[in-house]
Amino acid sequence: MFLKRMMLTMLLATMSIVAHAGEGERLLEKFLSATSSMSASFKQTLMSDDGTVMQESAGEFYLQRPGKFRWDYTSPYEQQIISDGEKVYVYDVDLEQVTVQQQGAVLSNTPMALIEGRLKLAETFDVKQLDSKAGVYRLQLISKGGDSDFNGIVIGVDEQGLKFMQLKDQFNQSTDIVFSDLKSNPELGAGLFEFTPPKGVDVFSGG
């Protein structure tokens, strides 16, 4: 009797794990399909391959799908990265420099291209759920084409939406971006995603 009860408990536990195995992917799909705009504060940490913190930065993030986004870095120095849907402008305030590139060339096969609507999840990535804690699911995204610029891509999502992105480059440096004060589908003015280089700054074309 005890053996049967133990086997039943194990079976129910296994069924529970299977039932929740795709929950993280469902939440990511929900975020991608239901989110037309987003605003959030963010903290970004760049770490070396041995875990040493190389740089910490913070700012505000805005998204208007499809194709428009804005990163306003406020510390440790001011920088703006703005996409109007066609071009990406990187403005280094202290250096008084602006770099302009075509959006497709910049984003390519990246999580940002997925989030802003340029890529489709099922067509571009295989999704593996790593774990979950306090309602936040960690998902590993593996490029189906094998042509990603990143060795590792992990995204965190919960019922409210996007929680973090973790990117590991080809030098095994890791960039962690954690979002807070997230607002889903706020009204964002069109001017937020427009950029005109200030007078006197150097403008470079990146292709």
Per-residue pLDDT in tens (0 to 9) along the chain, 207 residues: 433 443 333 333 333 333 344 899 999 899 888 999 999 999 999 999 888 999 999 999 999 988 899 999 999 999 999 999 889 999 999 999 999 988 776 666 677 777 877 667 877 788 899 999 999 999 998 887 766 667 788 999 999 999 999 988 888 899 999 999 999 999 999 899 999 999 999 999 876
Q: Is residue 73 part of a domain?
A: yes
Structure tokens at 33: 């399909």
Distance CA 111, CA 149 (A): 10
pLDDT attached to residue 7: 37
Q: Is residue 16 part of a domain?
A: no
User: What's this model's pTM, rounded to 2 decimal places?
Assistant: 0.81
Distance CA 51, CA 161 (A): 27
**Structural domain count of the chain:** 1
Q: Is residue 1 part of a domain?
A: no
pLDDT attached to residue 18: 37
Closest to 151 in 3D by CA, of 165, 170, 132, 164: 170
pLDDT attached to residue 118: 66
Cα 13 to Cα 10, 23, 24, 26, 168: the distances in Å are 5, 16, 18, 21, 34
Distance CA 179, CA 98 (A): 26
Structure tokens at 195: 């950029």
pLDDT attached to residue 148: 62
Q: Is residue 14 part of a domain?
A: no
Residue 137: domain span: 23-205
Q: Is residue 120 part of a domain?
A: yes
pLDDT attached to residue 207: 61
Domain containing residue 56: CATH number: 2.50.20.10
Q: Is residue 33 part of a domain?
A: yes
CB distance 102 to 86 below 8 Å? yes
Strands (E), the chain: 37-47, 53-64, 68-75, 79-84, 87-92, 97-102, 125-133, 136-143, 150-158, 161-169, 174-184, 202-205
pLDDT attached to residue 107: 65
Distance CA 186, CA 86 (A): 22
Q: Is residue 171 part of a domain?
A: yes
Q: Is residue 199 part of a domain?
A: yes
